[in-house]
Amino acid sequence: MTLRLRQTIYAILAVSGAALFGAAGTAQETAAPEPPAETAKAPPLAMLTVIAGAIGPATAKQVADAVEEAETRRADVLILKIDTPGGLVTSTREIISSILESQVPVAGYVAPAGGHAASAGTYIIYATAIAAMAPGTNIGAATPVTIGGGMPGLPSPEDAAPKKEGGEDGAAEEAPARTPQPSNEDAMAAKATNDAVAHIRSLAEMHGRNADWAEKAVREGASLSARAAVEEGVVEFIAADLGELLRLMHGREVATAAGKRVLDTEGAGIVEIEPGAMTKLLAILSNPNVAFILMLIGIYGLIFEFSNPGTIGPGVIGAICLLLGLYALNQLPLDYAGLALILLGLALMVTEAFTPTFGVLGLGGVIAFVLGGAMLIDSDQPEFQLSWSVIAGTAVVSVLTLAALLGYAWRAQTRPVATGSEELTGMEAQVIDWADGQGHVWVHSERWRARGPHQLAPGEKVRIEKLDGLTLVLSDAPAVHG
């Protein structure tokens, strides 16, 4: 093969290789997928619900509904804005369960300035994934209140102080302090306190907060200002408003029921969740004074219906009020001895009305009613206790109702008979027609068959002696004209 031929072949191979590589490069370029366009991300969403006032069944439903709404809308965070003096233990535990089971991070924010998260509010703050306070707020005082006002299980100063006793040489010696024997009431209070301590410590450990101070808040009723709470590790930070709260939360990793989650809250839009109609209705019904009055209206409505069958209205209204009252009372911590006394008092007053005993049963019923009202709600929270004015007012109404029923019963017993044969006896009748000792007379705008004296003239006035079946027996004596 000549040199020129080899050069020609090499040139052709070189050109072919270059073309192949170029085609491969072009194909690779064509086949390579283009990076997807960046998807526009929705702005972060923060949802807010406000907890103000005493914690009760309505608050528990409000928080549960807010958690459900936040999960439905896939919110980045749910903020509980808290200002509460405390509330019912059962409702507080329901709220904590809703928070811990939430798929959405829940933040607790004690606000506005001057507000506080006392008692039940402290437990709720410890349950949230992020805790913050506004300037000028405080947290704490979570001690369960016991009857008698003392701390459960603690000796009195007199018992704890060492006693001075005289020795053989006359010198005073210190006697060992007496260990007080706890009463049954103290033992129950100590159990409640220990349970509360264990609960709040578990919440503190879950979110890495100060468990020792939490125990101190329960056992000693300790409280902290906002700045001191941050220093003690009770809350994460102080935020002057919701905007600062969202900014400070941004980027923090928190625990939820769905696992760890990093908060994306900077610049988030805030949507407030208002309590629903049922929550507002429950808030009204869970007022023990309202529930108590509804129950009484229901009972009196049914009593009126049973004593006057067929009126319908009082029975319907009474049944509705009674069911609403019982539903509302079922949401509250009842003392069943108090409820039994109330029912006994009402029963005695009703018995007095239908079988008069000259006030003996009625007075006993009023006393049982008042005592039962005072004992009805088993709670140390003033917001969930019956007002003495309501107890006194309903007792007065019951007494007046009882007096009215007694008066009615007395008048009914002394009133002349207005129906039946007894009513006709002694009445005056007018002869319509008469023959051979029988005929017809006119009385009470009615025509009656009658028998009596042998001869009577039509139009003559006669006196009715008695009723024999459906026939009037007329007296021989002439009717007395008044």
Q: Catalogue the E-assigned strands of 203-267.
A: 223-225, 237-238, 253-256, 259-262
Closest by CA position to 395, among listed 346, 339, 324, 359? 346
DSSP 3-59: HHHHHHHHHHHHHHHHHHHHHHHHHHHHHSPPPPPPPPPPPPEEEEEEEESSB-HHH
* CA atoms in the 13 A half-sphere facing the CB of 130: 30
Q: For residue 72, what pLDDT is reported?
A: 95
C-alpha closest to that of 299 among 291, 332, 400: 291
108 contacts 139 by C-beta, under 8 angstroms? no
pLDDT at 82: 97
CB-based burial label for 12 (10 Å; 0-12, 13-18, 19+): exposed
Query: Per residue in 430-445, pLDDT tens?
Result: 899 988 888 999 988 8
- Higher-confidence position of 158 and 133: 133
> Model confidence over 299-349: pLDDT tens digits?
888 777 776 777 778 888 988 988 888 888 877 888 888 888 988 887 887
Beta-carbon count within 10 A of 32 CB: 8
C-alpha 153/C-alpha 186 separation (Å) is: 6
User: For residue 21, what are its two tokens?
Assistant: 């590589």
At 174-200, the pLDDT tens digits run: 555 555 555 666 777 788 889 999 999
The predicted model gives 448-468 an average pLDDT of: 87
Tokens of 437: 């000792």
Label residue 417 by pLDDT band (50, 70, 90): low
Terminal-residue alpha carbon distance, the chain: 169
Highest mean pLDDT among 201-210, 288-297, 302-311, 419-428: 201-210
Q: From CA 229, how far away is CA 227, in angstroms rounded?
A: 5
Whole-model pTM?
0.66
Burial label, 42 (beta-carbon count in 10 A; 0-12, 13-18, 19+) = exposed
